[in-house]
Amino acid sequence: MTATPLLPLDPALVDRARRLAARAAQPVVDLARSHTTVSVERATLRLAGLTGADPDGIPWVNRLADAVAEQVGIEHGIALPVFHALADHPDLTRLAHAAAAGGVRFAFPKGAAAEAARERATAAVSHGFDRIDRSRRRRDALVAEIGDPPQRPWIYLIVATGDIYEDIPQAQAAARAGADVIAVIRSTGQSLLDYVPEGATREGFAGTYATGENFRLMRAALDETSREVGRYIRLTNYASGLCMPEIAALAGMHRLDMMLNDSMYGILFRDINPIRTFVDQRFSRQVHARAGIIINTGEDNYLTTADAVEAAHTVTVSQLLNEHFAHEAGLPDRLLGLGHAFEINPDLPESFRMELAHALLARQLFPDAPLKWMPPTRHMTGDVFRGNLLDGFFNLAGVMTGQSILLVGMMTEAVVTPWLSDRDIALQNVRYVLNACAGLAEDFHPPADGFIAKRAGEVLGEAVDLLGTIVDDGLLDAIADGTFGIMKRPADGGRGLDGVAKRAEDYWNPAAAILDRDAAAAPAREEAAR
């Protein structure tokens, strides 16, 4: 990671913050480990190789999982009844066809039949993980062959037309103009769909649908452009919403490099049930760990609804919780793209000094994490000249504080979906600041008794106080009370709760078993790597 200036943070206070975050997170981890969801079970079928959709566009994984759930429930896991029934069908697709037509009676096998079903299920799911492993090795080989971007932060740029075949040339043009990471923003509302569309899609509102085929097409196009520009271009999409585990599995198999995957974004901003979200999030992060995918968390979103000064400590609290959830799922720091944002009202006196304080605090708390620094959106007014200047300040703060992933700010934010020309101007802004200020982080050392250091210490202290309250009251209650982003989301509300089940004592899922072993071995593996 980039060398960073040091703030005089109290080590004991930092340690207390992490210990409190672990205590606050543990009940939610226990909840996630003791429940399953329809999307976790469908993700298992996807890893086992089931693809395609019926004539109405409903994926066969949904048809098969729904048939099993209706007959025997999901609390025991659906792998055993599915792979027991598979003995009478040539493959999973034919089984799904028959189940959708009402031609299959599912049951839980016993004895030798159960052992045979376990072997078939484990072998099928292992093929899916083999595919993820091959994709990870392919990424490593391409990075070694083509090379990484020569500088940090990586320049992250969004493409969003709704049509994958329009996204591709725009993404390639952006890479040629200097972007290192291309994010194909997801169609508005997809997070609320309880299925993943199949195939390439050509219509979407304010974004493009996340599908396996769209992932494949964009990854192939960016591989071509990576060779052309001489640096590996990374691809990002969104593992969130009601199908978070399935999208994570598809991303791993199709070699995406980053995925937006926040512990609370779907709860707060899409009103998805908290329990559904935390269960799905744990499984999806385990898949990301296996695939070597960098996650991007969504703390920046809190500051679009709450005041960026008053609520700064909630960002720090969320980062600490996200860190604990990620580590528990097996994600090392190098894959932990914690989010934060440049969202203080620019009319506020000393706003830039406060932005520097908040950014430095995040950088010092998480020195080995590839932090994702988000540009101003809330206070963009439509004045494109002012907006371009404000983005320049954002870029400067990113360089001064050693950020890792810098999302390109658009002067047309809140006006139009950016044109290629808008992106080109925005990239010029980034390139100028990065070139002119390269290495500035090495020279920027705010005084220990100055404004920036005091503000950072103040935010950390407020974060510790809030974490203490969350430990006492519970994280689910804190979410229900509107602690984060001033959005109140009770644990028994929101979309998707009907797709959650408490695991039975004999619950079994071959994918979850493999991923749990991965997560348990992760600390020792990382220590050996160091």
Structure tokens at 237: 């999409």
What residues have CB less than 8 Å from 136, skipping those under 6 apart? 252, 255, 290, 291, 292
Helix and strand numbers (H, E) in the chain are: 20, 11
d(CA 267, CA 241): 9
d(CA 7, CA 418): 37
Q: Which of 262, 300, 391, 422 is catalytic?
A: 300
Structure tokens at 230: 């001489």
CB-neighbour burial class of residue 349 (10 A; exposed 0-12, middle 13-18, buried 19+): exposed
d(CA 153, CA 397): 11
Give the count of beta carbons closer than 10 Å to the beta carbon of residue 204: 23
Q: Where are the alpha helices (DSSP H) in 101-243?
A: 111-146, 164-176, 212-229
d(CA 374, CA 46): 33
**Integer-rounded Cα radius of gyration of the chain:** 23
d(CA 43, CA 37): 10
The CA-atom distances, in angstroms, between 388 and each of 189, 393, 410 are: 29, 9, 7
Asked if 300 is an active-site residue, the reply is yes
Q: Are 484 and 303 in contact (CB under 8 A)?
A: no
DSSP assignment of 172-193: HHHHHTT-SEEEEPBPTTGGG-
| Beta strands per DSSP E along 336-399 | 336-337, 339-341, 372-374
Q: Which of 209, 232, 238, 265 is catalytic?
A: 265
d(CA 248, CA 239): 6
Q: Which of 209, 372, 391, 422 is catalytic?
A: 372
Phi/psi region, residue 155 (left: phi>0; alpha: psi -120 to 50; beta: rest), is: beta
Phi/psi region, residue 247 (left: phi>0; alpha: psi -120 to 50; beta: rest), is: alpha
d(CA 227, CA 312): 41
Asked if 265 is an active-site residue, the reply is yes
Asked if 209 is an active-site residue, the reply is no
What residues have CB less than 8 Å from 156, skipping those under 6 apart? 179, 180, 181, 183, 236, 372, 405, 406, 407, 408
What residues have CB less than 8 Å from 90, skipping those under 6 apart? none
| Nearest one of 453, 406, 412, 462 to 434, comparing CA atoms | 406
Active site residue ranges: 265, 300, 372
